[in-house]
Amino acid sequence: MGKENKKMKKPGMFWSLINLLKTFAEIGKVFNNMAQLFTVSVVISIGVGFSFLGAGKVDPSLGVSIVKVVCAICFGVNLGLFIPAALLQTEKFYDLTGSVTYLIAVSYSFRAGLDSSSDNTRKIIASSLTIVWALRLGSFLFLRVLRDGKDGRFDKIKINPFRFIVAWALQGLWVFLTAFGVYVANASSESPPIDGLDCVGIAVWVTGFAIEVISDRQKSSWRENPGNKG
């Protein structure tokens, strides 16, 4: 009888160990999800921190500085559209959302900071160049993901909303920081005339834009060649 009892206990101990391992695995998932949410909070905090550096005009209708409103727009648009993307588990409008965010943020900062009594040439040029770039890149990336059917970068991310939201928060920060100079210039109460340094900046933008367009076309042609796959 003693030997039979020992044999009966072994399966119980085995399943107890399995359940314990499962518990640890679930705890690990919880901590991992918490880590992802912590990352999102850090990303947003970085954006908010930078918004305090961009001194400028205050939006009279909101009572908040224009740059801070832009920060809210950048994160609000991306985190808002994250919800349907997570429900559908799709990344197809991720890049398009980034471009749309640029358009909204730049257009708002330009309109809110516009001063009819000053020379707005610099604001017009900076905003226009940013919008042209965002429209070109956004349409290119959106058409590419429609043609390919997916973006492989998101294969393992989009199935986990806690990981997926990090990508959307990072895009909000990216849109805010990469065009931060434009937002600050648009919100500035000073409107100095165009000078030689501005012309150099425009030349650099044109050069960079041309390189980006050519590179994207070359990469697309390379990917469309069946001999380059595999």
Domain boundaries, the chain: 14-221
pLDDT in tens, 128-177: 999 999 999 999 999 988 888 888 888 989 999 999 999 999 999 999 99
Tell me the DSSP string of 173-226: HHHHHHTHHHHHHHH-S--PPP-HHHHHHHHHHHHHHHHHHHHHHHHHHHHH-G
Contact 23, 152 (CB under 8 A): no
Residue 200: the pLDDT is: 96
Residue 2: the pLDDT is: 47
Does 91 score more than 70 pLDDT? Answer: yes
Residue 152: the pLDDT is: 85
Confidence of residue 85 (pLDDT cuts 50, 70, 90): very high
Contact 150, 157 (CB under 8 A): no
pLDDT in tens, 170-219: 999 999 999 999 999 999 988 788 899 999 999 999 999 999 999 988 88
Angle in degrees, CA 39, 187, 102, rounded to 5: 50
Residue with the bigger pLDDT between 90 and 31: it is 90
- pTM score > 0.95 for this model? no
CA distance 176 to 101: 9
What lies within 8 Å, CB to CB, of 183 at 6+ separation is 54, 66, 67, 70, 105, 106, 109, 176
Instruction: State the angle between helix axes of 94-113 and 66-88 in degrees (0 to 180), rounded to the nearest 10.
Output: 160
Contact 71, 62 (CB under 8 A): no
